[in-house]
């Protein structure tokens, strides 16, 4: 009986998600990516948010897979791009050079015409591929290598900046990483969470050294305190993301932070 109830609840949640996407009710929050030394905001990662009347805030780890399953990830992804590009256009207008990072799911990456549609969209906002970072999780990026698809190479050739998200949770080998047209590794927060142990510190150090050897930027995610930040800086990490520097926030709050930062630099 419990299984049936769960199943019915899941169907109802799916229905409400479909309605929310159709009504364009999903929100997008932005989390600062900061320069490790100066603390200056250099990028903003767009993170989808869904507030359901019955469930409250439903985490993306729940609704993104649901949207994929329902075939609605294209709509959802399109809305996230629209939101992010609209904001980015406004930040550019203010003279700010921050980039915006958008997460891509597997289905989006491998959809026909994905690149053409994104390029058209960028043009309609008066932005360039160089303004965007596309985040692709390690496991999805590996599919591109193993199926000899040229998706990532096409995107890189068009000028997009590519970042491997959740790095360290997949199984890419050095040769594969080297062959990927990527600029950045985003070290998964599960590694940051273990920086309080000697083993944890050694693993992060090894990842950062490998990234340097491959001439890749590293962004370490999930940085929650000053000690971790200081240790990462000592390793030569250039960019950091995490609650210590800023949680994902509504666009209006980011607008204020960017304005404050611009005033301080003037």
Binding interface with ligand C2E (CB under 6 A): 31, 47-48, 59-61, 64, 77, 80, 103-105, 135, 165-166, 189, 221-224, 242-243, 248
17 or 184, CB closer to Mg ion? 184
| Contact residues for 151 (Cβ-Cβ < 8 A; gap 6+) | 109, 110, 114, 115, 144
Least distance (Å) between residue 12 CB and ligand C2E: 22
- Determine if 138 is a binding residue for Mg ion (CB under 5 A): no
Least distance (Å) between residue 9 CB and Mg ion: 28
Please say whether the beta carbons of 149 and 110 come within 8 A. Answer: yes
End-to-end CA separation in angstroms for the chain:
64
- Determine if 166 is a binding residue for Mg ion (CB under 5 A): yes
User: From ligand C2E, Mg ion, none, which one binds at residue 7 (CB under 5 to 8 Å depending on kind)?
Assistant: none
- Determine if 103 is a binding residue for Mg ion (CB under 5 A): yes
> Pairing relation of β-strands 41-52 and 99-104?
parallel
Least distance (Å) between residue 249 CB and Mg ion: 15
16 or 48, CB closer to Mg ion? 48
What phi, psi does 260 have (nearest 5°)? Answer: -65, -45
Measured from the Cβ of residue 83, the count of other Cβ atoms closer than 10 Å reads: 21
| Contact residues for 87 (Cβ-Cβ < 8 A; gap 6+) | 30, 44, 100, 251, 254, 255
165 or 228, CB closer to Mg ion? 165
1 or 26, CB closer to ligand C2E? 26
């Amino acid at each position: 009986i419990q299984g049936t109830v769960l199943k019915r609840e899941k169907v109802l949640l799916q229905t409400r998600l479909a309605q929310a996407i159709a009504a364009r009710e999903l929100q997008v929050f932005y989390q600062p990516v900061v320069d490790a030394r100066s603390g200056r905001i250099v990028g903003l990662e767009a993170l989808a948010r869904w507030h359901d009347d019955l469930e409250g805030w439903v985490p993306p780890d729940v609704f993104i897979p649901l949207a994929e399953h329902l075939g609605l990830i294209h709509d959802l992804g399109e809305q996230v791009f629209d939101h992010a590009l609209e904001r980015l256009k406004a930040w550019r207008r203010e003279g700010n050079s921050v980039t915006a990072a958008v997460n891509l799911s597997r289905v989006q990456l491998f959809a026909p015409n994905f690149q053409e549609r994104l390029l058209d969209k960028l043009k309609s906002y008066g932005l360039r591929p160089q303004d965007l970072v596309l985040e692709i999780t390690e496991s999805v990026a590996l599919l591109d290598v193993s199926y000899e698809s040229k998706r990532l190479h096409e995107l890189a050739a068009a000028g997009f900046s590519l970042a491997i998200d959740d790095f360290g949770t997949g199984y890419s080998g050095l040769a594969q990483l080297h062959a990927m047209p990527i600029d950045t590794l985003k070290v998964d927060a599960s590694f940051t969470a273990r920086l309080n142990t000697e083993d944890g510190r050694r693993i992060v150090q090894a990842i950062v050294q490998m990234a340097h050897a491959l001439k890749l930027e590293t962004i370490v995610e999930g940085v929650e305190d000053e000690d971790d930040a200081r240790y990462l800086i000592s390793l030569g990490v250039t960019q950091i993301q995490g609650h210590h520097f800023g949680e994902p926030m509504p666009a209006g709050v980011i607008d204020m932070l960017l304005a404050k930062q611009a005033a301080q630099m003037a």
